[in-house]
Amino acid sequence: MVIVLNGTQRREKQEYFDRLFSLRYQIFVKGRGWALPSVQGPLEIDQYDVDEAVYFFDLDENDEIRGSVRMTPTDRSSLLADYFPHLIENGSSPRSPLIYEATRYIVLPARTNPSGVRLGKARLINAVVEWCLGMKLSHLQAVVDTATLSSFVEMTHRTMPLGLSYPYGGGRGAPGGGECVAFRWPITHEVLNDVRVYGGLDRAQWTLPDPSNRGSIPTQPVLH
Amino acid sequence: MAFEGDTYGQRTLDFVERLQQLTEYDEICQHIMKEMEWFGFSCVSSFSIPGPGENLKASIQLNNRPQEYTERYVEKNYVVHDPAVTELRKTIHPYSWSDIRKRRVLKKSEKLIMDEATEFGARDGFIIPIVTISGSAALFCPCGLEPDLSPRARAAVEIIGIYSHHALQRALVHKQREEAAHTPLTPREREIMQWVASGKTDDEIADILSVGTSTVTSHVENAKKKLDAFRRTYAVVQAIRSGEISL
């Protein structure tokens, strides 16, 4: 089940957010060794965890987080614009009210079961794209480690790179380092369908009953 | 502020945009090979690493290396010892053949494989590792005499390799599905797949049918193609689903 919460609900839904920030700390700070600027104890919280941020939580039957992604409106909060503008080589602006940015993308369990991970990715991203369609956005964008770009292209060949990859954190081989690349997805029903096919999602796992349903999706309630 | 990229960046973005519009396998191959030539890569290979008992030829998506070289490579099963391939066990990041030579001293058998590649016009190559949908490894490998392996060229070819692999895979799956829709299994293929479903190896089936193992393997490979399956077990599932065999 995927639920969507926004940044203004951090106090109201503190239990979910504390678990998410703790998970992010374990994965990004301890696991990947990223030197993140704002670590509050064992919780990873940064300057993009703002009221306008929208959080997708994929919860299992025990209410445990098995996937998550944060979406921010790029006209106000954009990692790409602030830290990685050099990743854009096609002249596009990294900021637009019609573009949201996906960051802190997590799908568990990592690398233990390829088909389970694929389903987990699809379940989460399906909800994100449905939400973006409901918000009538033009694109979502992301900065990812180049080693993971293939998995997004595999989800949809409509994945459009914005430029070539560049080293971060000392480059490949350095602790916490690697190479990153920026891409955009157009927010269309074709992309949504690509994600569903990739994950083999059946209709019971969709939010929108069919691709022709263009009704808006509320930002807050349970998606499915 | 965003900035306009150099030729490497612009070419790569143009390449991807064009590739996204192509659906025909042959067109995609031509588009990839032409782009690789600009970087000084005269040949391109793209294939999934075959699993135990699987044939390399069946795993190839694209290959325009000289036929004589390819036949020798397959016949000698070089894929098991080729340092350009075995390096995949150590890294998920792209590397060149010359990087491997710098990292370690090659064994005699490894050096032989690389020397043979040079004899056939490929002195250096660039390997882009790709994890496939099934979780197995694939690689995209352009090679040539004096390819451009500058940092920007590497960054460009990495993106090109990732997109090319997936475009080829999509086109091949589409092609195989179309062919499979019109190509039922032959009686012999059906009979052999029935034995495969009962758990027999190619050797055992060859004994039962009094034919050569290579003949059995060939029938199994043909059946896999028709059933749109990369693995034997999945081919059995597909054959049962389509009513070609029963348990």
Q: Which residue of B has its CA nearest to A85?
A: B2
pLDDT at A212: 39
Task: Give a yes or no: residue B94 inside a domain.
Answer: yes
Give the domain CATH number at B104: 3.30.450.80
User: What pLDDT score was predicted for residue A51?
Assistant: 96
Within 8 A of A154 by CB-CB distance, chain B residues are 133, 166
Q: In this model, does residue A218 exceed pLDDT 50?
A: no
| Higher pLDDT pick, B246 / B1 | B246
Q: How many CB pairs under 8 A join A and B?
A: 79
CA distances from A149 to A41, A49, A183, B93 (A): 31, 24, 9, 12
Q: Would B160 be classed as within a structural domain? A: yes
Would you state the pLDDT for residue A221?
Answer: 35
Q: Which domain holds residue B165?
A: 7-178
The number of folded domains in chain B is 2
The mean per-residue pLDDT over the stretch A37-47 comes to 81
- Cβ within 8 Å, pair A90-B13: yes
Nearest CA distance, B80 vs chain A (angstrom): 24
* pLDDT band at residue A210 using 50, 70 and 90 as cut-offs: very low
Query: Does residue B173 share a domain with residue B51?
Result: yes
CATH number of the CATH domain containing B207: 1.10.10.10
Same domain for B16 and B66: yes
User: Does one domain contain both B72 and B161?
Assistant: yes
Q: How confident is the model at residue A113 (pLDDT cuts 50, 70, 90)?
A: low
How buried is B158 (Cβ within 10 angstroms: 0-12 exposed, 13-18 middle, 19+ buried)? buried
Model confidence at B22: pLDDT above 90: yes
Q: Are residues B20 and B56 in the same domain?
A: yes
Query: What is the chain A residue with the closest CA to B165?
Result: A150
Q: Are residues B65 and B83 in the same domain?
A: yes
Q: Specify if B152 maps to a domain.
A: yes
Q: Which two tokens stand for residue B226?
A: 């028709």
Residue indicated by tokens 């900035």: B3
Q: Is the pLDDT of residue A173 over 60?
A: yes
Distance between B130 CA and the closest CA of chain A, angstroms:
7
Q: What local confidence, expressed as pLDDT, does residue A192 receive?
A: 95
For B4, list phi and psi in degrees, rounded to 5: -80, 135
Average pLDDT rounded to a whole number, residues A94-120: 83
Would you call B2 and A93 a contact, using CB atoms and an 8 Å cutoff?
yes
> What are the C-alpha distances in Å from B170 to residues A191, A215, B19, B32, B90?
15, 31, 12, 14, 28
In this structure, are B212 and B104 located in the same domain?
Answer: no
Walk me through the domains of chain A, giving residue ranges and CATH numbers. 2-205 (3.40.630.30)
Residue B206 and residue B122 in one domain: no
Domain boundary among B127, B153, B178: B178
Same domain, B164 and B79: yes
Q: Residue A154 is nearest to which of B3, B17, B166, comparing CB atoms? A: B166
Residue B14 lies in a domain: yes
Of A85, A93, A164, the CB nearest to B12: A164
Alpha carbon A7 to its chain's center: 15
Domain boundary among B143, B159, B178: B178
Question: Do both B193 and B173 map to the same domain?
Answer: no
The continuous run of DSSP H or E covering B38 comes out as helix B25-38
Q: Please tell me whether residues B105 and B194 are part of one structural domain.
A: no
Model confidence at A208, pLDDT cuts 50, 70, 90, reads very low
Is B2 a member of any domain?
no
Percentage, residues of chain A above pLDDT 70: 85
With CA atoms as reference, report the closest residue to B125 among B70, B65, B198, B205: B65
Q: Look at residue B122 and tell me if it is in a domain.
A: yes
Q: Which of A92, A157, A179 sits opposite B2 (nearest CB)?
A: A92
Residues B102 and B26 in one domain: yes
Final residue before a domain boundary, out of B178, B197, B217: B178
Span B67-81, pLDDT tens digits: 998 888 888 888 888
Of B3, B8, B159, which is closest to A86 when you measure between CB atoms?
B3
Question: B4: which strand partners?
Answer: A90
Q: Is residue B22 part of a domain?
A: yes
Same domain, B72 and B12: yes
Residue B217 lies in a domain: yes
Residues A14-34 have a mean pLDDT of 92
